[in-house]
Structure formats: C-alpha cells, structure tokens
Chains A and B, each alone.
Chain A
C-alpha cells in the first residue's frame, strides 16, 4: 500500500512549504467512500455472514477505510517518502507480535482444554 501511495506522492506537484491544498471535492469523495465502506461492514453483520467470508470481508473493508483515512485525510499520499516509511513501516512489524500471540493463545487454549476438560 505504501508503494502505491509513493507513486501518487511522486506524481503530485502540490507539496509545498505552506501546506497541503487539495480540492474540497476530493475530501467529499473520500467521505462518501468511508460511508459506503462502513455500511458494507455493517451489512456483513446484518446478513449474518459467517466464517472465512465474514472475516475476510471485515478485514478488507477495515484496510480500505484505514488506507483512505491515512492517505487522503492525513495527507500521507503527499508526504515525503522518508516520513511515510518511518511512520508506516513500524506498525506493519506489529504483525510479527500478532503471529507470536496467535501461537501463544493456541498453546494456552490447548492446555486449558486438556487440563480442565473444557469443550
């Protein structure tokens, strides 16, 4: 995602010292998309989708919304790459922590099931 934003960044000539000026319409379009995506994620629950379909849709809409907010509302698409990478790369590494804790919780769950005879 950062790569895609980087290309936008290098193409946009608007970066200047005085600040970020973009057409108001851009913000309204992003606002509209955030509404649409939120409605979609709500509908995932409303229609009781289950299993992998539910989880992948939730994650997809989550990532799209987060990307729009960071790239457009927070102007990351127009920032210099040195800042973009310094801010966006570290959170990606959190996924390593997530993976570690997935193994840990599966281990604890197995222990509880064996030792306490849970379901």
Chain B
C-alpha cells in the first residue's frame, strides 16, 4: 500500500474502488485533481438534484393517490399549427431548443480550453439566446394554460393537482434557466474582455480568472438540460 501516498494535487496510481478509498482516506483533499470551484458546483448540483427529486416525487404521489382522472398532457399541450392539430408539439420544440443550447455550451467549454476567445464568447451568447428562447416559450405556455383556466387549485380537465404540480415544477425549472441565462451573459462578457486570458480577478471571490469558469458554468447549464430530460419524460410524456 505504499503507492497510496499522494500529494495534494497528485494522482494515486490505484484503480477502481481502491482509488476511492485511498482518495477519501488520504487525510487531505478528497477530490484530488478537481479544482475546488468545480467540486463545489457538483455538490451544489447534487443538492439541486434532491430539490427536483422531491418535486417529482411529490408529483408522483399526488398523481398516484388521486381518484379523479388526470388530464391528458398530450392534449393539454397540443397546438394548432396551420390548421393541423399536433399533440405536445410546443414541448417537443422546447426540448430541442434546450438540447441545442447544451450542445453549444459543450462546444463553448471546449473552445475555452483551446483558448479560442472569440468562438467561446459567441457560443456562450448563442447558448444564452437559446435559453432565453426556451423561457419565452415557457411564458407562452403558461399564458395559454392560464387563459384556458388552469390554476394551482383547479383546471377544466380533471385532477386539480395537475395545475399545482405543473406550475411548481416548470416554474422552478424556468427560474433555473433564467438564472443560467443571466450568468451565461456575465461569463460571455468576461470571456470577450479576455479576463480568463489575463487572469483578471473575479468580482466576488477575487481569484484569478481561468477558463475553468466556463466549464463550471457549463456544468450548471447542462444540469438545467438534465432536469428537463426528467420533467419531459415524467410530467409531459407519462
């Protein structure tokens, strides 16, 4: 067990479960080569996972326990486009928009590590625009449903719990997207100015700017997309 010895940032040569045990028992940093900002973002995302898990479990509980029929999401979220009645189409488009924003975000992170400053900034702005598009479509969806009489306590088609869980889950997710868009723009501005090339100190932590910030921003943004995968499957399709 002599090769367990690892420095603060070094790598242990152990593999598999043994490497986990070695990392966690090393009496130093557990996440050896992971920058603290990234580790903290992951831990925040883990806590956020629990928040959304509890929302979705609450939704499951009220849907399973009600004796009133559940409204059919396929019909509730259908749209008339050009005289055609297409089920769930708005949600499908929203899904594609958010996935595309995840794609541009991943490319932005990649370009950041390659020091393509302009490409990174442009991709971040594109990601923010796609995110804003998503939020606008969600605002349209809310407006449509509210005008049709959906309230957190009642709706015209069946179980009143439909409205409460819909507004709670999509509202919380939309808030996350909105916050993400704001931070994307802030990070894009920093990239554009070259803060991460010069190592300019950040306004909050004063630590030296680094393209890691783009990856950490990316973790948050992909998480928003990840949550939508679960909402899309469990709320809209189920």
CA distance A8 to B15 in the complex (A): 12
CA distance A70 to B13 in the complex (A): 25
Q: Tell which of B57, B62, B92, B229 has the most Cβ of chain A within 10 Å.
A: B229
A44 touches B113 (CB 8 A): no
A-B contact pairs, 16 of them (CB 8 A): A20-B109, A20-B113, A30-B106, A31-B99, A41-B232, A45-B74, A65-B229, A69-B222, A69-B225, A74-B218, A81-B16, A81-B23, A98-B57, A101-B57, A105-B65, A108-B65
A10 touches B15 (CB 8 A): yes
* Interface residue B1 (Cβ < 8 Å from any Cβ of A): no
B23 touches A82 (CB 8 A): yes
Select which of B24, B95, B110, B114 is within 8 A of A38 by beta carbon.
B95
Instruction: State how many residues of chain A have any CB contact under 8 Å with chain B.
Output: 62
Contacts of B16 in A (CB 8 A): 6, 10, 81
Q: Known interface pairs A38-B96, A45-B74, A83-B31. Does A27 touch B113 (Cβ–Cβ under 8 Å)?
A: no
CB distance from B185 to the nearest CB of A (A): 20
The 5 closest A-B pairs by CB, nearest first: A118-B67, A82-B23, A105-B64, A62-B233, A31-B103
Q: Known interface pairs A10-B15, A45-B74. Does A80 touch B32 (Cβ–Cβ under 8 Å)?
A: yes
Q: Known interface pairs A41-B232, A42-B92, A90-B46. Does A58 touch B237 (Cβ–Cβ under 8 Å)?
A: yes
Q: Which residues of A contact B (CB under 8 A)?
A: 6, 10, 15-22, 24, 27-28, 30-31, 34-35, 38, 41-42, 44-46, 48, 55, 58-59, 61-62, 65-66, 69-70, 72-75, 79-83, 85-87, 90-91, 94, 97-98, 101-102, 104-106, 108-109, 112-113, 116, 118-119
* Interface residue B211 (Cβ < 8 Å from any Cβ of A): yes
Select which of A17, A27, A70, A118 is within 8 A of B110 by beta carbon.
A27
A109 touches B109 (CB 8 A): no
Within 8 A of A (CB), among B199-238: 211-212, 215, 218-219, 222-223, 225-226, 229-230, 232-234, 237-238
Select which of A44, A74, A85 is within 8 A of B219 by beta carbon.
A74
CA distance A45 to B236 in the complex (A): 9
Q: Known interface pairs A19-B212, A35-B96, A58-B237. Does A66 touch B67 (Cβ–Cβ under 8 Å)?
A: no
Q: Known interface pairs A27-B107, A45-B74, A66-B226. Does A21 touch B113 (Cβ–Cβ under 8 Å)?
A: yes
CA distance A86 to B66 in the complex (A): 36
B46 touches A87 (CB 8 A): yes
Contacts of B169 in A (CB 8 A): none
